[in-house]
Amino acid sequence: MTADRPPPGTNEITYREAVKQAIRDAMIRDPRVFLMGEDVGRYGGCYAVSKGLLEEFGPERIRDTPLSESTFTGAGIGAALGGMRPIVEIMTVNFSLLALDQIVNNAATLLHMSGGLFNVPLVIRMATGAGRQLAAQHSHSLEGWYAHVPGLKVLAPATIEDARGMLWPALEDPDPVLIFEHVMLYNDTGPLPDRRPVDITKAAVRRPGKDVTIITYGGMLPKTLAAADMLAADGIAAEVIDLRVLRPLDEETVIASVRRTRRAVIVDEGWRSGSLSAEISARIMEQAFWDLDAPVGRVCSAEVPMPYPRHLEQAALPQPDGIVAAARATLGPR
């Protein structure tokens, strides 16, 4: 019995196991689906997501690759152009920088550059975020960079249900989809999700409220929900929106919520300058300025390379207390 599989009779599963089940089910469902990346086979994946899949599906469909992100991402693009449905795993988001040319200059542009003739039905999964003391080179939150690029769809599953249900719709998409899995979510445990696909076009209201809208995604969702609990203890009802889809943004859900609550705070693990939080703030100002009763607040990581010592790492990351303070600031004296 592995740590990821709950004992018989329980209805709990980890985020890690939910991702694994999604991959396994997709491979059973469609023989064109295969997984490729560094250490996905014999090692079972850097975060143990693919453990056991090599034994079940064999080396043709669970393919260990050399340590060359540009090469195997390019191979994934070629396989997608050839009619396959590859899942490319890039170990961590910082390693994806070695494949930027393939992702941004090829996968994202080939449909346009070919005059609509060639789709690239490629899924790229990668771990993102900080919190495990992996220091400055392995703690990035760069999903906002990719959300800047036309031609890509960018997903950030924050719940076990989304980790389980987003993969198949992503594989069905005719264009490249990037899925960012936060490193601090892999051990999260929750109820077994249904096997139905998840809508990868819409944000989700994770908690209704009337006093302030708090907008977040990915690994910041648990902290934001904890902050909402703290606010509720003081009689403040925060509405929590999980973006889920970073490109294209579900503006309709965000703007509708802000117009109801008249206040907004954005929680983004990325750095503040040039961040996804800045883009969301700008869109709120463009579309709901006259509905606001306070300036839009933002809670982001400190603008430093991520420290290694745990106390400094935690100080650099958004925390519930900071989210509560930002929400209170939009409400003024009470």
| Residues 63 and 166 occupy one common structural domain | yes
Note the pTM of the prediction, 2 decimals: 0.95
Q: Would residue 1 count as lying in a domain?
A: no
Q: Encoding tokens for residue 162? A: 């989304």
**Tens digits of residue pLDDT in 121-164:** 999 999 999 999 999 999 999 999 999 999 999 999 999 999 99
Using the predicted structure, report yes or no on whether residue 230 has a pLDDT greater than 90: yes
**DSSP SS3 for 185:** helix
Pairwise CA distance, residues 114 & 235, whole Å = 56
> Are 309 and 189 contacting, i.e. CB atoms less than 8 angstroms apart?
no
pLDDT at 252: 97
17-36: burial string, b at 16+ Cβ within 10 Å, e else: bbbbbbbbebbeeeebbbbb
Residues 235 and 292 in one domain: yes
Number of neighbours of residue 293 by Cβ within 10 angstroms:
11
Task: Report the C-alpha gap between 219 and 181 in whole angstroms.
Answer: 8
CA–CA dist 71, 156 (Å, integer): 25
Triad 244, 63, 20: Cα angle to 5°: 40
**Tell me, what's the pLDDT at 11?**
81
Catalytic residue among 17, 69, 89, 269: 69
Q: Are residues 150 and 16 in the same domain?
A: yes
Task: Tell me the per-residue pLDDT of 40-70, one tens digit each, with 9 for 90 and over.
Answer: 999 999 999 999 999 999 999 999 999 999 9
Q: Residue 10: what pLDDT?
A: 61
CA distances 29 to 32, 89, 172, Å, are: 9, 19, 12
- For residue 239, is it within any domain? yes
CA distance 220 to 244: 11
218 vs 143: CA distance, rounded Å = 10
* Within-domain flag for 147: yes
Q: Please report whether residue 198 resides in a domain.
A: no
CATH of the domain at 265: 3.40.50.920
Together in a domain, 143 and 213 = no
Same domain? For 35 and 158 the reply is yes
Same domain, 229 and 169: no
Residues in the chain: 334
Q: Do 140 and 72 belong to one domain?
A: yes
112 is catalytic: no
Same domain, 136 and 272: no
The Cα–Cα gap between 54 and 24 comes to 11
**Domain that residue 287 falls in:** 204-331
Task: Decide if 60 is inside a domain.
Answer: yes
Q: Which amino acid is at 114?
A: S
- Residue 4 pLDDT more than 80? no
Q: Do 147 and 212 have their domain in common? A: no
Residue 330 in this model has a pLDDT that exceeds 60: yes
What sign for the dihedral angle of Cα 146, 149, 155, 156? positive
Is there a domain that residue 40 lies in?
Answer: yes
Q: How many domains does the chain have?
A: 2
Answer yes or no: is 245 within a domain: yes
Q: Band the pLDDT of 8: cuts 50, 70, 90.
A: very low
- Who's near 234: CB < 8 A, 6+ residues apart? none
Averaged over 102-121, what is the pLDDT?
A: 97
Same domain, 185 and 267: no
Select which of 17, 60, 89, 138 is catalytic.
138
184 and 47 belong to one structural domain:
yes
Strands 212-216 and 204-207: unpaired
* Helix 221-232 vs helix 320-331: crossing angle, to nearest 10: 50
Find where tokens 């010592």 sit.
Answer: 309
Q: Report the CATH number that the domain containing residue 187 is assigned in CATH.
A: 3.40.50.970
| Residue 199 belongs to some domain of the structure | no
**Do 179 and 106 fall within a single domain?**
yes
d(CA 137, CA 139): 6
Let me know if 138 is a catalytic residue.
Answer: yes
C-beta separation of 214 from 258 below 8 A: no
